[in-house]
Structure 1
Amino acid sequence: MASSRATSRSYEVLGNFSIGEDREYHNDLSQRRFLVEPDDDCPNFDLVHGLSEYTDRKPSGSEPTSMNPMLHWLRDHRDELIDKKILKSGGSSRKLDIDFVGRRGFFCRLLRAAASADKLEILVTLCKGTYYIENVKDTYKETAKQIEMGFAGKKFAQYITSSDGSKPDINEPVNAYSEYVAVMKAQYGDHRIILSTEVQAEREDAAQRPPENYVCIKTRRDDLVGKQLTNFNRYKTLQWWSQAYMAGIPEVICGMRNDSQRIIASVKNMKTNQMSLNSEGIWEPGMCVKKFESYLSEIKRLVQDDNPRAVYRLQLPEFEKGRRAKDRLQYRRFHLLGKKDDYVIIPEEYIKEVLNLEE
Structure 2
Amino acid sequence: MVTNLLSHYSFAVLPVIRNTNNPGRGGFGRGRWHNDRGAGILGRPGYPPRQGYGYGNKFANGHRDERFISELKFSKSEETLSRKCIAFQEPCELACYSRVEGGDVYFDDRSLRLFKRLITEEIGADLNQGFDTFIEKKELGSEGFGDLLGCIRDKNIPLQNIHFVTFRNNLNKILATAYIRNEPWEMGVHKRNGVVYLDVHKLPERPRSELDRRRCYWGYCFESLATEDPRREDGEGIHHVDANVEYCSVIKTKLGAHRILMGAEMDCCDSTDEGRRFYVELKTSRELDYHTEERYEREKLLKFWIQSFLAGVPYIVIGFRDDAGRLVRTERLRTKDITHRVKMKNYWQGGVCLAFADEVLCWLYGTVKENEDYILQFAPPFNRLELLQAQSCPDAITNHVEQS
TM-score tier, shorter chain, comes to 0.7 to 0.9
The CA deviation string for residues 119-169 of structure 1, in whole angstroms up to 9 with x for no partner, is 332211111111101132224232211211221111111112126799777
Q: Which residue of 2 aligns with 1:25?
A: 105
> CA–CA distance in 2 between the matches of 1:20 and 1:130?
30
Question: Structure 1 residues 39, 152: closer, same or farther in 2, change over 3 A?
Answer: closer
The CA deviation string for residues 10-40 of structure 1, in whole angstroms up to 9 with x for no partner, is 1110111112222342223221111112264
Question: Structure 1 residues 218, 295: closer, same or farther in 2, change over 3 A?
Answer: same
Aligned-partner SS, 1:67: helix
The CA deviation string for residues 246-301 of structure 1, in whole angstroms up to 9 with x for no partner, is 111112101111333x3212211012223242373232100001111111111112
> CA–CA distance in 2 between the matches of 1:242 and 1:218?
13
Structure 1 unaligned blocks of 5 or more: 82-86, 88-94, 321-331, 355-359
The CA deviation string for residues 302-351 of structure 1, in whole angstroms up to 9 with x for no partner, is 202x22xx32122233345xxxxxxxxxxx54322112337445042x22
Given that 2:225 and 2:238 are in contact with CA atoms closer than 8 Å, whether structure 1 keeps it comes out as: no
Matches within 5 A, 1:184-263: 184-205=251-272, 207=274, 209=276, 213-222=278-287, 224-260=288-324, 262-263=325-326
In the TM superposition, residue 228 of structure 1 has moved relative to its aligned partner by: 1.7
Aligned-partner SS, 1:32: coil
Give the counterpart of 1:316 among 378, 386, 395.
378
Aligned-partner SS, 1:162: coil
> CA–CA distance in 2 between the matches of 1:150 and 1:7?
35
Question: Which amino acid is 2:358 matched to?
Answer: E
Aligned-partner SS, 2:201: strand
Question: Structure 1 residues 160, 7: closer, same or farther in 2, change over 3 A?
Answer: farther
**TM-score in terms of structure 2 length:** 0.71
CA RMSD of aligned residues (A): 3.0
Q: Which residue of 2 aligns with 1:324?
A: none
> CA–CA distance in 2 between the matches of 1:104 and 1:152?
23
Say yes or no: does 1:156 pair with 2:222.
Answer: yes
Question: Structure 1 residues 164, 182: closer, same or farther in 2, change over 3 A?
Answer: farther
> CA–CA distance in 1 between the matches of 2:329 and 2:83?
30
Question: Percent of aligned positions with the same letter in both sequences?
Answer: 22
Aligned-partner SS, 2:271: coil
Q: Which residue of 2 aligns with 1:50?
A: 130
Given that 2:253 and 2:259 are in contact with CA atoms closer than 8 Å, whether structure 1 keeps it comes out as: yes
Say yes or no: does 1:288 pair with 2:353.
Answer: yes
Say yes or no: does 1:334 pair with 2:382.
Answer: no
In the TM superposition, residue 245 of structure 1 has moved relative to its aligned partner by: 1.1
Given that 1:65 and 1:136 are in contact with CA atoms closer than 8 Å, whether structure 2 keeps it comes out as: no
Q: Which residue of 2 aligns with 1:92?
A: none
Question: Which amino acid is 2:225 matched to?
Answer: Y
In the TM superposition, residue 41 of structure 1 has moved relative to its aligned partner by: 6.0
Given that 1:159 and 1:170 are in contact with CA atoms closer than 8 Å, whether structure 2 keeps it comes out as: no
Give the counterpart of 1:301 among 366, 369, 374.
366
In the TM superposition, residue 77 of structure 1 has moved relative to its aligned partner by: 1.2
Q: Which residue of 2 aligns with 1:115?
A: 179
Question: Structure 1 residues 57, 175: closer, same or farther in 2, change over 3 A?
Answer: closer
Given that 1:31 and 1:163 are in contact with CA atoms closer than 8 Å, whether structure 2 keeps it comes out as: no
Given that 1:41 and 1:266 are in contact with CA atoms closer than 8 Å, whether structure 2 keeps it comes out as: no
Please say which structure displays the higher CA radius of gyration.
Answer: 2
Which structure carries more strand by proportion? 1
The CA deviation string for residues 82-126 of structure 1, in whole angstroms up to 9 with x for no partner, is xxxxx2xxxxxxx53201000010011011111111333221111
Matches within 5 A, 1:41-190: 43-56=123-136, 66-78=144-156, 81=157, 87=158, 95-117=159-181, 118-140=183-205, 141-162=207-228, 170-190=237-257
**TM-score in terms of structure 1 length:** 0.79
The CA deviation string for residues 214-263 of structure 1, in whole angstroms up to 9 with x for no partner, is 111011122x2233221111111111111111111112101111333x32
Aligned-partner SS, 1:227: coil
Question: Which amino acid is 1:20 matched to?
Answer: V
In the TM superposition, residue 52 of structure 1 has moved relative to its aligned partner by: 1.2
Structure 2 unaligned blocks of 5 or more: 1-80
Question: Which amino acid is 1:353 matched to?
Answer: Q
Matches within 5 A, 1:264-283: 264-276=327-339, 277-278=341-342, 280-283=345-348
Aligned-partner SS, 2:292: helix
> CA–CA distance in 2 between the matches of 1:2 and 1:165?
49
Given that 2:284 and 2:321 are in contact with CA atoms closer than 8 Å, whether structure 1 keeps it comes out as: yes
